Structure 1
Amino acid sequence: MPAPLSLLCLPCAGASATMYLRWRRLLPRWIEVVPLELPGRGSRLGEDFVEDFDALVSLLCGEHEAALRGNFALFGHSMGALLAWGIAQRLRATGRPLPRALLVSGSAAPSQRDPDRFVDMDDDEALIADMRKQGGTPEELFASPELLRMTLDTLAADYRVCEGFAHRGAAPLPVPLHVFAGREDDIQPWRVEAWSAETLNAGFSLDWFEGGHFFIRQHEARVLAALVRRLPQSVAGEADVLPAIA
């Protein structure tokens, strides 16, 4: 069996780290899924949201200092992809160990984010419309006023994190970078392809899947198979095969 690898996973906007709990039983045993919870949701529901990108990255690096060492990789979907990249950048800036790989999903590259993405996203009606457009939200949530209120508050806070993000021309990272994207997502392909400039001769891949923004749920088995395949070969081993996923 390959050497154990910790896969630290960051959630998308409006979500909790629980979105990754299924992966613990679907991925090979040598991959330890470590969902990173953000303030204001899930097990941290009583905490205030952190609505500044740099402050949130700094907080996560401090809270998970022990996990951000050794044999680990970072994964994030949508906003989580941006946070994963930010964590890797901060680790390098502070002289700390870098991940074995950075895996990002459903996100434009940091340098090519759409400046109009969060325009007029400042009320419940707009947020609900955006949730329905993106898909991936169970209809039962819309029918529950309490759950909907919690989700909208979380989504609004996370959108402020994304809206306030500023790319300051950070140098490419010396780690392998692997991108997953949905063909029917509304992110223009060139914005996704621009991730290739974020790694420095360390290996880059881009896997496209059928589906929209939440292709990672629509085609979970294929995404997880690609994820295992893209992890460093010195860790995964060329002969390692992902079990069938129902």
Structure 2
Amino acid sequence: MKVTLICLPFAGASAAVYRQWGALLPSWIRVHALDLPGHGVKRAQPALHRWPEVADALEREALRVIDGPFAIFGYSMGALTGLEMAHRLRRTHGLTPLWFGAAACAAPACRTPDATWLDCPDEAMIAELRRLGATPEELLGDRGFLDLALPVLRADFHLCATYVRPDNALRAPLACPLLALGGRNDTLSEQSDYLSAWAHETSAGFTQRVFDGGHFFIDTARAELIDAIVTSLASASTCAAPANPLAHAGIPGAAFRTASIDSAGAAGPRSFHS
């Protein structure tokens, strides 16, 4: 059974983050990385900073690539955008991923709102990028680069900092296995519940794993990360059974539901805001 793995990048980045993954994954996994407006191939479009608009945009993109069983993986901000996309697909089209992966991202239940990023001075944005240490100093001094990058980063930082988890009474958790991944030296892993609280986002099996490295273990531990994703997704795929086909206009595939499993143990500047 082939599975479409929809991948979402971290703040400030594009789908290019995943450009090499297709060659590193087994043939039964087809990678489709998505860009939000303002990023990558959609860089000419205004960046979005409101969650309903993000969900709308990702819903449209996801429906273009789903033609059967699918899974979702999001890194940093991508874990939040992927979660919103998953809920939108379920609510609007009856489509449920057979697996969800969240990496380098504090769980929705552990987030503290901060609505300052859209209007803060450029100097504050630059200072934050410098603190994060992932943007070359020469770029931080390049006014042309900053004029292009800061509007996108403001929008992304704002999305991450204003994410509010809906109460379970208003929105049921996903019904698929969920794997949460963190970096041992990432400040997001300093408090264990930042990862473990992702268990609240699924009614099925939950697993977490921590890798050596900081926030960007997607680079420093890429082989181990991909191996963990493949192993977890393979387990979820063996448990998956197709639900009764639903009529979806323009969607050739059917919805898939997953059985529960037991719990166990780029382009542009990079962002830590997740």
TM-score range, shorter chain: 0.7 to 0.9
- Counterpart of 1:232 in structure 2 is 234
Cα displacement string for residues 126-168 of structure 1 (whole angstroms, at most 9, x for unaligned residues): 2233223334435564364433432222111111222332222
Q: Say if 1:67 and 1:129 are closer, same or farther in 2 by CA, change over 3 A.
A: same
Q: Does 1:6 align with 2:4?
A: yes
Cα displacement string for residues 30-74 of structure 1 (whole angstroms, at most 9, x for unaligned residues): 221111011012111111111101211122102331323412110
Letter in 2 for 1:203: G
Letter in 2 for 1:180: L
Alpha-carbon distance, 1:10 to partner: 0.7
- Counterpart of 1:195 in structure 2 is 198
Q: Say if 1:140 and 1:71 are closer, same or farther in 2 by CA, change over 3 A.
A: farther
Letter in 2 for 1:229: T
Letter in 2 for 1:100: L
- Counterpart of 2:221 in structure 1 is 219
Given that residues 76 and 105 in structure 2 are in contact (C-alpha distance below 8 angstroms), is that contact kept between their aligned partners in structure 1?
A: yes
Q: Give distance in 1, aligned partners of 2:2 and 2:208.
A: 25
Given that residues 183 and 212 in structure 1 are in contact (C-alpha distance below 8 angstroms), is that contact kept between their aligned partners in structure 2?
A: yes
The secondary structure found in structure 2 opposite 1:92 is helix
The secondary structure found in structure 1 opposite 2:80 is helix
The secondary structure found in structure 1 opposite 2:226 is helix
Q: Say if 1:208 and 1:90 are closer, same or farther in 2 by CA, change over 3 A.
A: same
- Counterpart of 1:174 in structure 2 is 175
Given that residues 36 and 57 in structure 2 are in contact (C-alpha distance below 8 angstroms), is that contact kept between their aligned partners in structure 1?
A: no
Could you tell me which of 33, 51, 62 is aligned with 2:60? 62
The secondary structure found in structure 1 opposite 2:63 is coil
Q: Give distance in 1, aligned partners of 2:117 and 2:44.
A: 28
Q: Say if 1:18 and 1:120 are closer, same or farther in 2 by CA, change over 3 A.
A: closer
Q: Say if 1:234 and 1:10 are closer, same or farther in 2 by CA, change over 3 A.
A: closer
Matched residues, number: 233
- Counterpart of 2:253 in structure 1 is none
- Counterpart of 1:244 in structure 2 is none
The secondary structure found in structure 2 opposite 1:75 is strand
The secondary structure found in structure 2 opposite 1:66 is helix
Question: When the two structures are superposed, what TM-score results if normalisation uses the length of structure 1?
Answer: 0.85
- Counterpart of 1:47 in structure 2 is 45
The secondary structure found in structure 1 opposite 2:182 is strand
The secondary structure found in structure 2 opposite 1:15 is coil
The secondary structure found in structure 2 opposite 1:65 is helix
Unmatched 5+ stretches in structure 1: 238-246
Q: Give distance in 1, aligned partners of 2:98 and 2:199.
A: 17
Question: When the two structures are superposed, what TM-score results if normalisation uses the length of structure 2?
Answer: 0.77
Q: Give distance in 2, aligned partners of 1:215 and 1:180.
A: 10
What's the C-alpha RMSD, in Å, of the aligned pairs? 2.2
Q: Give distance in 2, aligned partners of 1:89 and 1:37.
A: 18
Query: Which deviates more, 178-187 or 67-76?
Result: 67-76
Given that residues 34 and 61 in structure 2 are in contact (C-alpha distance below 8 angstroms), is that contact kept between their aligned partners in structure 1?
A: no
Cα displacement string for residues 202-238 of structure 1 (whole angstroms, at most 9, x for unaligned residues): 211101011111111111111111111111326479x
Q: Give distance in 2, aligned partners of 1:190 and 1:228.
A: 24
Greater RCO, 1 or 2 (C-alpha within 8 Å, sep 6+): 2
Given that residues 134 and 212 in structure 1 are in contact (C-alpha distance below 8 angstroms), is that contact kept between their aligned partners in structure 2?
A: no
Alpha-carbon distance, 1:125 to partner: 2.5
Percent pairwise identity? 39
Letter in 2 for 1:127: M
